[in-house]
């Protein structure tokens, strides 16, 4: 599996994401935001966490208009796989690849802790390493992780089995406890929690490793 990890000024989980992909057996290329094309033959694009462009204007807003994001949108439109974690999720909603938006946490505080997530669906390349209904422990670290979408969009996400993860104890006010969602074709995942920070025994938890393993398995050349 060939993975590309996008690096913006202010990204700070790009190395962690690359290491998690590599540990699962992927070849990883780091791609700078000013590039306008993805490396040839990329299977999955990872948009990492961090504070791209200092969170100026809105979290992820400036990054979403960068040259590389036009290539990421085209990749997703062609049916390519992509995942955005934390700031990467914010970027994907800002591009319109995923619906909704991430608002300031309802309690106004930046929250950095490990939370329980319920796996809502195992029906995606990202979540097939889990069973629906499993609870996994994954860290969050965000100030603007309060997922919002209008009632019609939330109903559609639920109806189409596109909610990937929910919080077992909602930390940030997200509507319907939503922590991560899938695109219509189930090939793009956006989530606020950080599976790449729970992918090695040195992290204090490895519940995120199954996501990267499942992805590598699903996208391995036949």
Partner 1 sequence: MKARIHVMLKNGVLDPQGEAVHHALGSMGFDGVQGVRQGKVIELDLDDSATEAQVGEMCEKLLANTVIESYQIEMI
Q: Which spans of this chain sit near partner 1 (rule: CB under 8 A)?
A: 57-58, 61, 65, 93-94, 99-101, 103-108, 146, 148-149, 173
Active site residue 69: no
CB of 70 to partner 1, least distance (A): 13
Task: Report the residue number, 130 or 147, with the smaller CB distance to partner 1.
Answer: 147
Backbone φ, ψ for residue 180 (5° rounding): -160, 145
CB of 159 to partner 1, least distance (A): 19
Task: Report the residue number, 57 or 74, with the smaller CB distance to partner 1.
Answer: 57
Query: For residue 139, how far is the Cα from the chain centroid?
Result: 13
Task: Report the residue number, 87 or 93, with the smaller CB distance to partner 1.
Answer: 93
Active site residue 194: yes
Here the contacts of 182-187 (C-beta below 8 Å, separation 24 or greater) are 182/121, 182/124, 182/126, 183/76, 183/97, 183/98, 184/160, 185/79, 186/123, 186/124, 186/125, 186/162, 187/76, 187/79, 187/80, 187/81, 187/82, 187/124, 187/125
CB of 48 to partner 1, least distance (A): 21
Catalytic residue, from 13, 59, 69, 86: name it.
86
Nearest to 93 by CA among 14, 167, 189, 198: 189
Active site residue 86: yes
Task: Report the residue number, 1 or 149, with the smaller CB distance to partner 1.
Answer: 149
Residue 172 CB neighbour total at 10 angstroms: 24
CB of 190 to partner 1, least distance (A): 14
CB-based contacts of 178, cutoff 8 Å, min separation 6: 147, 154, 157, 163, 165, 166
CB of 58 to partner 1, least distance (A): 6
Backbone φ, ψ for residue 104 (5° rounding): -55, 140
Count how many residues are written for the chain: 222
Task: Report the residue number, 124 or 146, with the smaller CB distance to partner 1.
Answer: 146
Catalytic residue, from 75, 142, 194, 203: name it.
194
Q: Which residues are catalytic?
A: 86, 194, 196
């Amino acid at each position: 599996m060939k993975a590309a990890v996008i690096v913006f000024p202010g990204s700070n989980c790009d190395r962690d994401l690359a290491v998690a992909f590599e540990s699962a057996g992927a070849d990883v290329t780091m791609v700078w935001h000013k590039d306008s094309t993805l490396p040839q033959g990329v299977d999955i694009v990872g948009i990492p966490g961090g504070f791209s462009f200092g969170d100026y204007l809105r979290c992820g807003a400036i990054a979403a208009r960068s040259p590389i994001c036009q290539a990421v949108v085209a990749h997703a439109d062609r049916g390519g796989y992509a995942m955005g974690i934390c700031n990467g999720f914010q970027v994907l909603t800002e591009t319109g690849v995923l619906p909704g938006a991430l608002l300031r946490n309802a309690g106004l505080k930046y929250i950095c802790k490990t939370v329980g997530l319920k796996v809502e669906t195992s029906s995606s390349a990202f979540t097939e390493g889990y069973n629906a209904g499993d609870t996994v422990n994954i860290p969050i670290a965000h100030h603007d992780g309060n997922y919002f979408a209008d009632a019609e969009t939330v109903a559609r996400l639920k109806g189409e089995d596109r909610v990937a993860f929910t919080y077992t104890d909602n930390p940030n006010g997200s509507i319907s406890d939503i922590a991560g969602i899938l695109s219509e074709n189930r090939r793009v995942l956006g989530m606020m929690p950080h599976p790449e920070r729970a992918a090695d025994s040195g992290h204090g938890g490895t519940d995120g490793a199954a996501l990267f393993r499942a992805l590598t398995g699903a996208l391995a050349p036949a």
